[in-house]
Amino acid sequence: MSAVANTKAITPPDIRSRKGGTPLVCLTAYTTPVARLVDPHCDVVLVGDSVGMVLHGLPSTLGVTLEMMIMHGKAVRRGLEQALMVVDMPFGSYEESPEQAFRNAARVMAETGCAAVKLEGGAAMAETIRFLANRGLPVMAHVGLTPQAVNSFGGYRVQGRGEDAERIRRDALAVAEAGAFAVVLEKVPEALARGITAEVAIPTIGIGASAACDGQILVVDDMLGLFGDFQPKFVKRYAELGQAAEAAIAAYAQEVRERMFPAAEHVFADPLKGAHATKSGEAA
């Protein structure tokens, strides 16, 4: 199945059926214009809680609220026609109990029109994933480096090295068995991601993982070179739009200061003066 050629809206079962097939293309989006750009090319568009850092200037994702995710989810929904829209559940909105998770996830789905939500956490979240999935609420899981637990990890470090690999493996198996339709593997060693992909029955979506995963996801601002100077090892810059934008802004500022902008073609003539000049010429 080719997402680019497909005009029908993609569903969670469609994504699950892609296990072992053509790799899934996934990107984040937080606004309507960007959603329109990525939609024709992506299978999954994630409204990530990374919006807190990318658009709101927060130091981490921990300050993102449910209301922020709903606002950006609504904006992205307006720009999509075919890609599956998934919305991140923010920190504190689902960890307390399966009931809390369902109540908040149901609100996100109802208010944004998304088709699924994403929860961070492995075996500890299996009961919650099962609770949601059994009630018709599709869940994408997320294991490995889970940014909402960054304080527990002591920073944005690679997960699953050495003996810790078995923990990540168990997490991936647990969320798959609980009913997640796909699982994100973030910042884990290549061999571990390859092994998990071969073992679990659901698609794996890598970010800082392995090309052997069933799909890949990046933060769109990272791959376009829009988000600051920091570039994680796992990000490939497909453009440097930030530099281009800065150059354009500098050129605008210079032309304004030199009174070069607006030029004659950017201003409006006075129609009354034009008409008066014509009549004067005719009278003469």
**The CATH number of the domain where 68 resides is what?**
3.20.20.60
- CA dihedral (155, 157, 162, 168) positive or negative: positive
- CA dihedral (176, 178, 183, 189) positive or negative: negative
Report the alpha-carbon distance of residue 127 to residue 97 in Å, rounded.
9
Place of tokens 């930030």: 242
Query: pLDDT of the chain along its 284 residues, tens only?
Result: 344 444 699 999 999 999 999 999 999 999 999 999 999 999 999 999 999 999 999 999 999 999 999 999 999 999 999 999 999 999 999 999 999 999 999 999 999 999 999 999 999 999 999 999 999 999 999 999 999 987 776 767 888 999 999 999 999 999 999 999 999 999 999 999 999 999 999 999 999 999 999 999 999 999 999 976 667 888 999 999 999 999 999 999 999 999 999 999 999 988 876 555 555 555 44
Domain count of the fold of the chain: 2
**Domain end residue (candidates: 239, 256, 271):** 239
Q: Do 177 and 52 belong to one domain?
A: yes
Q: Do 199 and 73 belong to one domain?
A: yes
Report the alpha-carbon distance of residue 74 to residue 182 in Å, rounded.
23
The length of the chain in residues reads 284
Annotated binding site for Mg(2+): 49, 88, 120
Report the alpha-carbon distance of residue 179 to residue 252 in Å, rounded.
53
Q: Do 273 and 157 belong to one domain?
A: no
Q: Do 255 and 217 belong to one domain?
A: no
The radius of gyration computed from the CA coordinates of the chain, to the nearest angstrom, equals 24
Confirm whether 157 is domain-assigned.
Answer: yes
Report the alpha-carbon distance of residue 210 to residue 24 in Å, rounded.
13
Q: Do 190 and 271 belong to one domain?
A: no
Q: Do 235 and 255 belong to one domain?
A: no
Against a cut of 0.75, is the pTM above it? yes
Q: Which domain holds residue 25?
A: 12-239
Q: Do 99 and 151 belong to one domain?
A: yes
Residues recognised as catalytic: 186
Annotated binding site for 3-methyl-2-oxobutanoate: 49-50, 88, 118
Confirm whether 5 is domain-assigned.
Answer: no
Confirm whether 275 is domain-assigned.
Answer: yes
Q: Do 71 and 105 belong to one domain?
A: yes
